[in-house]
Amino acid sequence: MEERISVNNVSKGFGEGEARVDVLDGVDVRVGRHNFVSLLGPSGCGKSTLFNIISGLMEPTEGEALVDGSDDRLGTCGYMQQKDLLMPWKKIVDNVALGLMVKGTPRSEARRQADDILERFGLGGFGHRYASEISGGMRQRAALARTFLAGDDVLLLDEPFGALDSLTRLQMQSWLLDVWQESAASILFITHDVDEAIRLSDRVYVLSERPARVVLTLEIDLPRPRPYEMVMTREFAEYKAQAIRYLHPDEPALIDEEVIPDA
């Protein structure tokens, strides 16, 4: 089975009758082994809902979501939700150890492993601080560390860098790319940031306004590693122009059609 995640023709609505809201409309998404794939779409279009479905927290109204070919997917993905969900009354090390402890690892062993991963994630020495005592960038790294430590190698990351200033964000992208390259993880990543999606990914799905449909699938054929400077290349700009054209279909195209390859 090559695909780690297959979302096949998934639709989702909430509520009944007058109150019904259609959120996803026939969405297809694939993530292969050790792929990095992003979802790019307007606010409120249904991205987090799709993650809730893939993780098994919700069922689709129509279609199917499979992890490693199986519909029985609850507990098979590491899921970093949009809010970092660190518990402010617990030390960072205990927040990070939690992912292992809920899977049955004894506390002392979970703490030892949490200390190791905090070191690797550049948070060595901060384990005994409380979540409220570290910066936003550190909190997000700690939440990512917890997600990685739980040991799942299919990861759903919902806007993990959403709260960061642009400089920290660029550093975190580089750092995530390094961590991912050394791991066996397959990642599905949500972002609003076009540069971020293209820089990180093997493939980018652009979604429409709610109810979300996939309006563009971009295979990003740029070499790795991808230093930040790559955003200034012509190849990068062409991907970006295409993504923006589909994200903002009502805006007049500012860029000469010639530079944009056909969809």
Ligand X SMILES: Nc1ncnc2c1ncn2[C@@H]1O[C@H](COP(=O)(O)OP(=O)(O)OP(=O)(O)O)[C@@H](O)[C@H]1O
Contact footprint for Mg ion (CB under 5 A): 47-48, 82
Output 92 or 187, the one with its CB closest to ligand X.
Answer: 187
Output 23 or 206, the one with its CB closest to ligand X.
Answer: 23
CB of 77 to Mg ion, least distance (A): 16
Candidates 46-54, 129-137, 142-150, 176-184: pick the segment binding ligand X (CB under 6 A).
46-54
Spatial contact of 111 and 146, defined as CB atoms under 8 Å apart: no
- Residue 252 CB: number of other CB atoms within 10 A? 5
Dist. CA 258–CA 154, nearest whole Å:
38
- Residue 104 CB: number of other CB atoms within 10 A? 7
Token duo for residue 201? 């990914």
CB of 232 to ligand X, least distance (A): 27
Summarize the chain as % helix, strand, coil (round to 5): 35, 25, 40
Candidates 45-53, 147-155, 223-231, 235-243: pick the segment binding ligand X (CB under 6 A).
45-53
Residues linked to residue 257 through DSSP beta bridges, in sequence order: none
Interaction between residue 191 and ligand X (CB under 6 A) = no
Quick note: the x/- pattern for ligand X over 79-98, rule CB under 6 A, is ---x----------------
Q: Which residue has the tokens 């023709």?
A: 9
Residues 9, 44, 107, 109: which binds ligand X (CB under 6 A)?
Answer: 44
Dist. CA 84–CA 81, nearest whole Å:
6
Residues 11, 35, 47, 204: which binds ligand X (CB under 6 A)?
Answer: 47
Dist. CA 79–CA 73, nearest whole Å:
12
CB half-sphere exposure, 176, CA atoms < 13 A: 30
Q: Which residues contact 107 (CB under 8 A, 6 or more apart)?
A: 97, 101
With CB under 6 A, what is the number of residues at the site for ligand X? 13
Residues 8, 48, 113, 217: which binds ligand X (CB under 6 A)?
Answer: 48
The residue of the chain with the least Cβ separation from Mg ion equals 48
Indicate which of Mg ion, ligand X, none lies near residue 150 (CB less than 5 to 8 Å, by partner kind).
Answer: none
CB of 7 to Mg ion, least distance (A): 16
CB of 159 to Mg ion, least distance (A): 6
Spatial contact of 79 and 55, defined as CB atoms under 8 Å apart: yes
CB of 47 to ligand X, least distance (A): 4
Indicate which of Mg ion, ligand X, none lies near residue 240 (CB less than 5 to 8 Å, by partner kind).
Answer: none
Quick note: the x/- pattern for ligand X over 18-37, rule CB under 6 A, is ---x-x--------------
Dist. CA 233–CA 226, nearest whole Å:
11
Helix/strand/coil for 217: strand
- Residues in region 97-136 near ligand X by CB under 6 A: none
Q: Which residues bind ligand X (CB under 6 A)?
A: 14, 21, 23, 41, 43-49, 82, 210
